[in-house]
Amino acid sequence: MPTVSLVLLLFISYLTILTAQPDLRYAYCFHNRGKYTNTSSYQSSFNVVVSELNSNTQIDYGFYNLSHGQNPDRVSLIGLCRGDVKPNECRSCLNNASILVPKSCPNQKEAMGGYDECFLRYSNRSIFGVMETDVSYYLWNLNNATEADKYNQVVSDLLGALRDQAASGDSVRKYAAGNESVNFQTVYGAVQCTPDLSQQDCYGCLTGAISEIPNCCSTKTGGRIIKPSCNIRYDNYRFYDTVVEDSTLASPPTIT
Ligand SMILES: *[C@@H]1O[C@H](CO)[C@@H](O)[C@H](O)[C@H]1NC(C)=O
Ligand SMILES: *[C@@H]1O[C@H](CO)[C@@H](O)[C@H](O)[C@H]1NC(C)=O
Ligand SMILES: *[C@@H]1O[C@H](CO)[C@@H](O)[C@H](O)[C@H]1NC(C)=O
Ligand SMILES: *[C@@H]1O[C@H](CO)[C@@H](O)[C@H](O)[C@H]1NC(C)=O
Ligand SMILES: *[C@@H]1O[C@H](CO)[C@@H](O)[C@H](O)[C@H]1NC(C)=O
Ligand SMILES: *[C@@H]1O[C@H](CO)[C@@H](O)[C@H](O)[C@H]1NC(C)=O
């Protein structure tokens, strides 16, 4: 019955399309920090942490820190959404990342990865409140900047000002975004730390990230540097929403 199996096959691929997560923007596996085996206690702690992440509907400020299990099989996880991302989108984004990061880094005890809107990391170490800057993941816009020296100076000034603002944020949000004119265009920037960092560590992490721009991105219109504890991004188009969701504000009236 070839027709039946064809229909079945089409149905299965339809289901796959319906449920598949969009590809991650990036993933980084810490290959030198150990592996766990399937059915290990680490794996079960990991599953608990991921299900706690995915069932949490209380957190509405885009920062999740969770841990489960006893040493040496304790798993700690941090989820962070870009400061402007709405709670539902944040949850969906982290949910998808929690499926795909472990697929990109199979059986790795420590990994990080995510999308434009969210970032996920986990480890067998305690990672809360600890600044981690040893690793950087670079992404850049392929387009070249005109008058690159001038452009880079404006980018660096903009990101420096945003860093000061983000570092002085509170324990639920350390994020800042803004824009500046350069060469008859506008450059947009956004910087963020995991808000469990102190002001000083956030400032230090972002300063380090900004200083790495020449390593990847300085001839380009846009670049991103993603570290476990902080990330920066700039480009010549607005890649963030200017309305930051704030649960303490009433929802705007509906215009009919
Ligand atoms: C994490 O796992 C690595 C590799 O298995 C091990 O060397 C390290 O001691 C572990 N760290 C903790 C805090 O258990
Ligand atoms: C571990 O589990 C994953 C997902 O179920 C599977 O893809 C992988 O092949 C398994 N690895 C081993 C070594 O059995
Ligand atoms: C999350 O971080 C806060 C400090 O920012 C800490 O007090 C809390 O214990 C952490 N949560 C877990 C589950 O470890
Ligand atoms: C997560 O994946 C689902 C498909 O499983 C998709 O519909 C949804 O848009 C994704 N969420 C985000 C924020 O990308
Ligand atoms: C950017 O400049 C480099 C070197 O001059 C050139 O090879 C590349 O094609 C340019 N890229 C674009 C998108 O124009
Ligand atoms: C640029 O930033 C200013 C605040 O510094 C803001 O008022 C303006 O709306 C922003 N422009 C764009 C296009 O986002």
pLDDT, tens digit (0-9, with 9 covering 90-100), for 74-127: 999 999 999 999 999 999 999 999 999 999 999 999 999 999 999 999 999 999
pLDDT tier at 13 (50, 70, 90 boundaries)? low
Is the pLDDT score of 198 beyond 60? yes
The token duo for 119 is 């970032």
19 lines ligand 4 (CB under 6 A): yes
For the chain, give percent helix, strand, coil, nearest 5: 35, 25, 40
Task: Return the DSSP state at 35.
Answer: B
pLDDT tier at 204 (50, 70, 90 boundaries)? very high
215 lines ligand 5 (CB under 6 A): no
* Residue of the CA atom closest to atom 1 of ligand 3: 65
Quick one: pLDDT at residue 244?
58
Cα dist from 174 to 6, 122, 246, whole Å: 52, 20, 14
Mean pLDDT (whole number) for 234-238: 97
Mean pLDDT (whole number) for 229-241: 97
pLDDT tier at 19 (50, 70, 90 boundaries)? confident
Instruction: Give the contacts of 66 (CB within 8 A, at least 6 positions apart).
Output: 49, 52, 53, 76, 77
* Residue of the CA atom closest to atom 1 of ligand 5: 144
Q: Which ligand is nearest to the CA of 99?
A: 4
> What does the pLDDT look like over 146-167, one tens digit per residue?
999 999 999 999 999 999 999 9
Mean pLDDT (whole number) for 30-37: 96
Whether 111 contacts 29, CB under 8 Å? yes
Question: How much is the CA Rg of the chain, to the nearest whole Å?
Answer: 20
Q: Which atom of ligand 4 is nearest to the CA of 117?
A: 13
36 lines ligand 1 (CB under 6 A): no
Q: Which ligand is nearest to the CA of 40?
A: 2
Is the pLDDT score of 256 beyond 50? no
The alpha carbon of 242 and the centre of ligand 6 are apart by a number of angstroms equal to: 9
72 lines ligand 1 (CB under 6 A): yes
Mean pLDDT (whole number) for 3-14: 52
Quick one: pLDDT at residue 183?
83
Q: Which ligand is nearest to the CA of 219?
A: 5
Say what the pTM is: 0.88
Q: Which of 24, 26, 17 is nearest to 100 (CA)?
A: 24
Is the pLDDT score of 49 beyond 60? yes
Q: Which atom of ligand 1 is nearest to the CA of 123?
A: 1
Mean pLDDT (whole number) for 25-47: 97
C-alpha span between 82 and 115 (Å, rounded): 10
Task: Report the percentage of the chain scoring pLDDT > 90.
Answer: 85
Number of neighbours of residue 250 by Cβ within 10 angstroms? 6
